[in-house]
Structure 1
């Protein structure tokens, strides 16, 4: 009997994952599991380049438009939900396809993440208030006192990571670093990672063009519709943050658009830096569809 296999199609934003994922899903007759941490939210369609209704009608998608922007979600919850779903889907499919560019979500499914306690609403609220009232430097100093080891490892310019570590410290009364084992978990299925790449200038041009298209499709209005919730973590993302600056009168629209393009390009570099550390990824260019299918077939059907 053929082993169960999860194909993971990954790559930086704007590289062309969506079109190829549809082709692969049709070829292997399987659904698509999105691992995009923002396409989960039903109000964020244009700014996340979510699959269109036509694309969703072609192939069954999961984890697209299933949450409200006020809902709490995390990589740990995604790992739990995705594994449970795959257990059911593998009953009727030998192959499944997961696609997206959210690095933490991909790692959560492929490698597992440490089991940490659920943070209480009281601690989450108090920590967020501390950040809002006292600023990033203050919460970094607090982390330095409670967990100097993680303080020296974390990106101190990333408030989300600092806040999460502090929440765990408060919740457990132990350093966050003591609870992180980074032990890879064994999965009851094989994992085959396909990475898509483009030459940098080509990727940057695609990103610029896609931002222009999002503006034409109504990104400003979409951001205006969720503006009152702009402090939610779900909206702490490129595309919306810059438009919020325009809506608040801090920036003009042209400047906001240029900042979206720049920040998206920066994010794509961060994605590639993260992915390049993973030796399990098999890299292709998006136009190499036949080569990709041949490669996957050799891995799937070459198994005895």
Structure 2
């Protein structure tokens, strides 16, 4: 049986340090699931592992992309699922560390292949929200996808905008591409969520 130990928590809580300690204990390697750490142009401000930390334990998916690359949680899922068997050949325990929940869920549970949104469409929806407010988004979504309108949090503009973007991009209701079908994995995910008192985390 293979195990993926998933270290999560807010920035500054000590995920990298904990992941390295666990990886050293099991003589294994680390996959980064922090989407900000993927980009080689922005190592500062992302709490990316330092060269020294990467020398202590091999890290994967750190600085492997350019900010010019198109990449999302679905891409990450495919890359990790393709790559992780090579790590499990060396050790049946692998560590994944990061705070990007959607990317973690994509690896552990699977994610729908939602198409990329063209910049013009995204800007159009953003401007609709800015100029006409959330009520306009609700009206648009109700026309485009009444089924999703019936279940979505109508007070959450981000979710409304995302659904509308997909409707405009595909010409189909959002619910037709949003399957939420959990995919079977040949490894077991073991989540470890780190936390600390808020006053300590932000001092």
Which TM-score applies when normalising by structure 2?
A: 0.85
Is the contact made by 1:50 and 1:64 (CA closer than 8 Å) also made in structure 2? Answer: yes
Name the residue aligned to 1:157.
157
Higher relative contact order (CA 8 A, sep 6+): 2
- Match in the other structure for 1:195: 193
Q: What residue ranges of structure 1 are gaps of 5+ in the alignment?
A: 206-304
Contact 2:11 2:47 in 1 (8 A): no
Structure 1 match to 2:33: 35
Of 88, 100, 103, the residue aligned with 1:102 is: 100
* Structure-2 separation of matches of 1:52 and 1:129: 36
Specify which structure has the higher proportion of helix: 1
How far did residue 199 of structure 1 move?
2.2
Go from structure 1 to structure 2 and tell me whether the alpha carbon gap of 1:82 and 1:177 turns closer, same or farther (over 3 Å shift): same
Q: Note closer, same or farther for the CA distance 1:127–1:162 as it changes in structure 2 (3 Å cut).
A: farther
CA distance in 1, matches of 2:88, 2:32: 16
What's the offset of the Cα at 1:12? 1.9
Alignment of 1:1-304 (within 5 A): 3-116=1-114, 118-119=115-116, 124-131=118-125, 133-136=127-130, 137=133, 141-151=139-149, 153-154=152-153, 156-158=156-158, 161-205=159-203
Counterpart CA distance in 2 for 1:191 and 1:89 is 15
Matches of 2:70 and 2:143 in 1, distance apart? 27
CA distance in 2 between partners of 1:153 and 1:49 (Å): 33
Distance 1:106 1:21 in 2: 15
Give TM-score, length-normalised by structure 1: 0.59
Is the contact between residue 4 and residue 190 of structure 1 (CA under 8 Å) also seen in structure 2?
A: yes
Q: How many residues align?
A: 197
Return the alpha-carbon distance in structure 2 between the equivalents of residues 87 and 166 of structure 1.
Answer: 37
Gaps spanning 5+ residues in structure 2: where?
none
Secondary structure in 1 aligned to 2:21? helix
Classify the secondary structure of the residue corresponding to 2:157: coil
- Report if the CA contact (8 A) 1:111-1:186 is conserved: yes
In structure 1, distance between residues paired with 2:202 and 2:16: 17
Secondary structure of the structure 1 residue equivalent to 2:186: coil
